[in-house]
Amino acid sequence: MLTDAVVNGITAGSVYALVAVGMTIIFGVLRAINFAHGEFYMLGTFGAWWGIETLDLPYIVSIPLALIIVATIALAVGVLVMKRLIDQPFQIGIVATLGVSLVLQNAVILIFGGAYKMFDGGWIEPVEILGVSLSEQRILIVVAALAIFGLLELVVHRTRFGKTIRAVSQNIEACKVVGVNVPAVVIGTFVLGCTLAALSGVLTAPVTVSLYGGMGTSITVKTFAIIVMGGVGNVSGTLFAAWLLGLMESFVASYLGLQFRDAVAFTALIAVLTFLPGGLFSKRERF
Amino acid sequence: MATMQLHEVNTHGSHIYNNPRHGLRITGFVVLVVALAAAPLVAGEYQLHALIVSMTFLLPALGLNLILGYAGMLSFAQMAFFGIGAYSSALTAMRWGTPFWLNLIIGGLAAGVVAVPLGIPALRLRRYSFVMCTLGFAVIAQTVAKNLVSVTRGDLGLSQVPRPRIALWSGGFEVTGITSYYYLALTLAVLAVVAFLALVSSAAGRYMIAIREDETLAASVGTPTWHYRMIAFALSAVFAGVGGSFYVHYFTVISPTVFDPFYANTVLVIVLGGGVGTVGGVVLGSFLFVAASEALRIAPDLRMIAYGLLLIVIVFACPEGLLPLFMRKLDGLKGRTHVA
Amino acid sequence: MSPDTLAALSIRGIAKRFGSIVAVAGISVDIKLGEICGLTGPNGSGKSTLFDCCTGLQKPSTGRVYAQGLDITGWDMHRIVREARVIRSFQKAVVFRALSVEENLVLCGQMIAFAGMASTFGVGPASRHRVRRLREQAGHLLELVGLSHMRHATAGQISFGQQKLLQFASMLMPEPRVILLDEPMAGVNPILIDRMMENINRANREQGITFVVVEHNLDAMKALCHRLLVLSRGELIADGAPDAVVRDPAVVEAYLAG
**Long-range contacts of residues A57-66, Cβ cutoff 8 Å, at least 24 apart:** A58/A121, A59/A121, A59/A122, A59/A123, A59/A206, A62/A121, A62/A202, A63/A199, A63/A202, A63/A203, A66/A198, A66/A201, A66/A202
Contact by Cβ (8 Å): B207, B42: no
Judge if C66 and C115 occupy the same domain: no
Closest CB to B214 among C82, C96, C110: C96
Nearest CA in chain B to C125: B202
- Distance, in angstroms, between B280 CA and closest chain C CA? 19
Show residues of chain C in contact with B223, CB under 8 Å: 78, 111
Nearest Cα to Cα of residue B49 among B304, B293, B301: B293
Q: Is B5 within 8 Å of A224 when comparing Cβ atoms?
A: no
Q: Is B307 within 8 Å of A107 when comparing Cβ atoms?
A: no
Is residue C258 pLDDT above 60, yes or no?
no
Q: Is A273 within 8 Å of B8 when comparing Cβ atoms?
A: no
- Distance, in angstroms, between B67 CA and closest chain A CA? 13
Average pLDDT over all residues of chain B: 81
Q: Is A81 within 8 Å of B312 when comparing Cβ atoms?
A: yes
pTM, 2 dp: 0.85
A with B: how many residue pairs have Cβ under 8 Å apart?
125
How far apart, in whole angstroms, are the C-alpha atoms of residue C9 and residue C37? 11
DSSP conformation letters of chain C: ----TTSSEEEEEEEEEETTEEEEEEEEEEEPTT-EEEEE-STTSSHHHHHHHHHTSS--SEEEEEETTEE-TT--HHHIIIII-EEE--SS--S-TTSBHHHHHHHHHHHHHT-STGGGG--SHHHHHHHHHHHHHHHHHHHHHT-GGGTTSBGGGS-HHHHHHHHHHHHHTT--SEEEEESTTTT--HHHHHHHHHHHHHHHHHH--EEEEE-S-HHHHHHH-SEEEEEETTEEEEEE-HHHHHH-HHHHHHHHH-
Nearest CA in chain B to C130: B203
pLDDT at B336: 41
Is residue B143 pLDDT above 60, yes or no?
yes
**What percent of chain B has a predicted confidence (pLDDT) above 90?**
19
Q: Is B4 within 8 Å of A90 when comparing Cβ atoms?
A: yes
Q: Is A89 within 8 Å of B143 when comparing Cβ atoms?
A: no
In the structure, do chain A and chain B come into contact, i.e. share 3 or more CB pairs under 8 Å?
A: yes
How far apart, in whole angstroms, are the C-alpha atoms of residue A248 and residue A265? 9
Query: Residue A132 forms beta bridges with which residues?
Result: A129
Nearest CA in chain B to A35: B132
Nearest CA in chain C to B340: C154
Show residues of chain A in contact with B79, CB under 8 Å: none
- Distance, in angstroms, between B305 CA and closest chain C CA? 33
* Per-residue pLDDT tens over the stretch C9-41: 888 888 888 888 888 888 888 888 888 888 888
Nearest Cα to Cα of residue B314 among A91, A74, A73: A91
| Cβ partners under 8 Å of residue A47, min gap 6 | A62, A65, A66, A67, A69, A70, A198, A202
Does C225 reside within a domain?
A: yes
Contact by Cβ (8 Å): A121, A52: yes
Nearest Cα to Cα of residue B245 among B184, B291, B172: B184
Contact by Cβ (8 Å): C37, C211: yes
Nearest CA in chain B to C173: B221
Q: Is B6 within 8 Å of A91 when comparing Cβ atoms?
A: yes
Domain boundary, last residue among C155, C175, C195: C175
Domain around B156: 13-334
* Per-residue pLDDT tens over the stretch C129-159: 888 888 888 888 888 888 888 888 888 888 8
Does C221 reside within a domain?
A: yes
| Cβ partners under 8 Å of residue A91, min gap 6 | B3, B4, B5, B6, B74
3-state helix, strand, coil in chain B (%, to 5): 75, 0, 25
Q: Is B53 exposed, middle or buried (0-12, 13-18, 19+ CB in 10 A)?
A: buried
Does B339 reside within a domain?
A: no
Is residue B85 pLDDT above 90, yes or no?
yes
Listed by number, the residues of chain B in 21-50 with a beta carbon closer than 8 Å to a beta carbon of chain A are none
Does B203 reside within a domain?
A: yes
Contact by Cβ (8 Å): A195, A203: no
Q: Is C108 within 8 Å of B221 when comparing Cβ atoms?
A: yes
Amino acid at position B338, single letter: H
Closest CB to C111 among B11, B201, B222: B222
Q: Is B128 within 8 Å of A33 when comparing Cβ atoms?
A: yes
Show residues of chain B in contact with C100, CB under 8 Å: 14-15, 18
Is residue C68 pLDDT above 80, yes or no?
yes
Identify the band that residue B139 occupies on the pLDDT scale cut at 50, 70 and 90: confident
* Per-residue pLDDT tens over the stretch C160-201: 888 888 888 888 888 888 999 888 888 788 888 888 888 888
Q: Is C117 within 8 Å of B10 when comparing Cβ atoms?
A: no
Domain boundary, last residue among C130, C147, C175: C175
pLDDT at B234: 95
Domain boundary, last residue among C144, C175, C206: C175
Nearest Cα to Cα of residue A79 among A235, A206, A163, A183: A183
User: Is the Cα torsion angle B328, B332, B333, B336 positive or negative in sign?
Assistant: positive
Contacting chains of C (3 CB pairs or more, <8 Å) are: B
Judge if C206 and C131 occupy the same domain: no
Whether chain A has a CB inside 8 Å of the CB on B307: the answer is: yes
Output the CA torsion C80→C83→C86→C87 (10° steps). Answer: 70
Identify the band that residue B108 occupies on the pLDDT scale cut at 50, 70 and 90: very high
Output phi, psi for B4, to 5 deg: -75, 145
Does C215 reside within a domain?
A: yes
Domain around C158: 95-175
Show residues of chain B in contact with A105, CB under 8 Å: 304
Number of domains in chain B: 1
Nearest Cα to Cα of residue C53 among C20, C85, C19, C27: C27
CA angle B36, B41, B47 (to 5 degrees): 65
Q: What is the mean pLDDT of residues B89-112?
A: 88
The CATH number of the domain holding residue B227 is 1.10.3470
Nearest CA in chain B to A113: B301
With both helix axes pointing from N to C terminus, report the angle between C101-113 and C125-145 in degrees, rounded to the nearest 10. Answer: 120
State the distance between the two ends of chain B, measured CA to CA, in whole angstroms: 26
Identify the band that residue B306 occupies on the pLDDT scale cut at 50, 70 and 90: confident
Judge if C21 and C55 occupy the same domain: yes
Show residues of chain C in contact with B4, CB under 8 Å: none
Average pLDDT over all residues of chain C: 84
Q: Which ranges of chain A have pLDDT less than 70? A: 1, 130-132, 233, 277-287
Show residues of chain B in contact with C107, CB under 8 Å: 206-207, 210, 221
**Residue B254, helix vs strand vs coil:** strand
Distance between alpha carbon B75 and the CA centroid of its chain, in Å?
12
Judge if C78 and C187 occupy the same domain: yes
The full set of domain ranges for chain A reads 2-275
The ipTM of this complex is 0.87
> Into which CATH architecture does domain A2-275 fall?
Orthogonal Bundle (1.10)
Nearest CA in chain B to C90: B217
How far apart, in whole angstroms, are the C-alpha atoms of residue B240 and residue B266? 13
Show residues of chain B in contact with C177, CB under 8 Å: none
How far apart, in whole angstroms, are the C-alpha atoms of residue B284 and residue B156? 34
Interface of A with B (CB under 8 A): 33, 81, 84, 89-92, 94-96, 98-107, 109-110, 114, 217, 221, 224-225, 228, 257, 259-260, 262-263, 265-267, 269-270, 273-274, 277, 287
Number of domains in chain C: 2
* Per-residue pLDDT tens over the stretch B11-26: 444 434 444 456 667 7
Task: Output A174 or C57, whichever has higher pLDDT.
Answer: C57
pLDDT at A286: 47
Does B288 reside within a domain?
A: yes
Judge if C147 and C182 occupy the same domain: no
Is residue B66 pLDDT above 60, yes or no?
yes
The CATH number of the domain holding residue C244 is 3.40.50.300
Identify the band that residue C103 occupies on the pLDDT scale cut at 50, 70 and 90: confident
How far apart, in whole angstroms, are the C-alpha atoms of residue A236 and residue A21? 9
| Cβ partners under 8 Å of residue A131, min gap 6 | none
Does C224 reside within a domain?
A: yes
- Distance, in angstroms, between C131 CA and closest chain B CA? 9
Interface probe with C: pick from B207, B217, B231, most Cβ of C within 10 Å: B217
Does C90 reside within a domain?
A: no
In the structure, do chain C and chain A come into contact, i.e. share 3 or more CB pairs under 8 Å?
A: no
**What percent of chain B has a predicted confidence (pLDDT) above 70?**
86
Is residue C88 pLDDT above 60, yes or no?
yes
In the structure, do chain C and chain B come into contact, i.e. share 3 or more CB pairs under 8 Å?
A: yes
Task: Output A279 or C252, whichever has higher pLDDT.
Answer: C252
Closest CB to B143 among A94, A228, A263: A263
Nearest CA in chain B to C98: B11
Nearest CA in chain C to B14: C99
CA distances (Å), origin C240, targets B169, B182, C213, C221:
76, 76, 15, 13
